[in-house]
Amino acid sequence: MHTKQIGKNFYQVELETGGFKNLICSYVFTGEKVTLVESGPTSSVPRLVEGLIELDVKFEDVQYVAVTHVHLDHGGGAGTLIKYLPNAKVIVHPKGMPHLVNPERLWASAQTVLGFVAEVFGKPEPIPQQRIIPVTEGIFDVGNGGKLEAFETIGHASHNLSFQESFGNGVFPGDAAGTYVPEFGVVVPTTPPPFYLLEALASLDKLISVNPSVLYFSHFGKADNAVQRLKEYKVQLQLWADIAKDGVGKSQSLEQIRDRIVAEDKVMKQIVNFVKAHPIYSKTMLENCVRGFMWYAIQAKGSQ
């Protein structure tokens, strides 16, 4: 079983990317107008397709594949996925659209930033432009009397969209609200370079202002206490930024800054052994996300 019901006509699909559970999921609204949120990466499209079959979804009934952003783990698989879905259109931010039409540059930069993790996610396939709906905001009818509202939440990426659903007042933040680690019930920054702190904080204010009751994390799963989590994430980002700024000012290495973050952030302190032992998270959380804050700190220093 890949699918789990999390609402009326609403399911989470465990993509088990690279064989890892609780890493990446997609979401499916079933009914006469099927809508998916996140294709996930190319390598786990077969899992998502199996999930759709498990849910008795007819491929021709899928109208939308909404992707929060085009990073490989969120929208990378959209090109492969829509080959199964003859009527589906992909909803994406206009700045992400060129990378879906021609993924070569995105793939090259992902290989540089992510290393072996890019290979775990797989190379994206191109999407014909006429199958893409570029939006910075918009409201989509997802059937059963429900709507999905898109809005911009940049910072993690220059083109991150969030989607708010009208059935349970939940929000899909993409990577704008961090990575939720369900094993511990905590959120950790997801901030690879180039990371824009001020934009990320403004996006969190925007997410707080729509007052969601739940968050549907792409990494990973449904989490309650949405507003409280968003507020705590703001504080956590600020803490990491302060440490990175101070560390960069003292010419400290990535390892030194990382160790300070682990020592001073109570969430990281709690889960550090789990993260260190996790082949993907050890690379993303303890390396790329720290690097993102260092990138931000260097830019901030340069603009002073």
Counting contacts by CB under 5 A, is residue 165 touching Zn ion? Answer: no
Instruction: Name the residue nearer to Zn ion (CB basis): 165 or 175.
Output: 175
The stretch near Zn ion (CB under 5 A) out of 129-137, 171-179, 266-274, 294-302 is 171-179
Residue 121 or 245 having the CB closest to Zn ion:
121
Contact 244, 253 (CB under 8 A): no
Rounded to a whole number of angstroms, the minimum distance from the CB of residue 68 to Zn ion is 8
Cβ closest to Zn ion, residue 30 vs residue 153? 153
Q: How far is the CB of 74 from Zn ion (least distance, A)?
A: 5
202 Cβ contact list (under 8 Å, min separation 6): 155
Residue 21 C-alpha from the chain's centroid: 16
Per CB under 5 A, contacts with Zn ion among 173-212 are: 175
CA dist., res. 152 & res. 219, Å (int): 19
**Tokens standing for residue 157:** 């990426």
Name which of 245 and 291 has its Cβ closer to Zn ion: 291
Buried b (16+ CB within 10 A) or exposed e, 155-193: bbbebbbbbbbebeebbbbbbbbbbbbeeeebbbbbbbb
Closest alpha carbon to 15 in 52, 40, 42: 40
Among the listed ranges 10-18, 29-37, 169-177, 251-259, the one in contact with Zn ion (CB under 5 A) is 169-177
Cα–Cα separations (whole angstroms), residue 268 to 86, 114, 258, 286: 44, 21, 10, 9
The number of angstroms, rounded, from the C-alpha of 105 to the middle of its chain's C-alpha atoms is 20
Q: Which is nearer to Zn ion, 73 or 265 (CB)?
A: 73
Please list every residue from 43 through 82 that binds Zn ion, using CB under 5 A: 73
Q: At closest approach, how far in Å is the CB of 176 from Zn ion? A: 10
Beta carbon nearer to Zn ion, 70 or 272:
70
How near is the Cβ of 69 to Zn ion at its closest, in Å? 8
CB 271 to Zn ion: min, Å: 17
Q: DSSP letter at 275?
A: H
CB of 175 to Zn ion, least distance (A): 4
d(CA 280, CA 301): 30
Residue closer to Zn ion (CB basis): 63 or 190:
190
Q: Minimum CB separation from Zn ion for residue 190, in Å? A: 6
Q: How far is the CB of 246 from Zn ion (least distance, A)?
A: 27
- Residues that bind Zn ion (rule: CB under 5 A) add up to a total of 2
Residue 153's identity, in one-letter code, is T
Nearer to Zn ion, 82 or 289 (CB): 289
Distance CA(188)–CA(268), nearest Å, equals 7
- 3-state secondary structure at position 251: coil
Residues that bind Zn ion (CB under 5 A): 73, 175
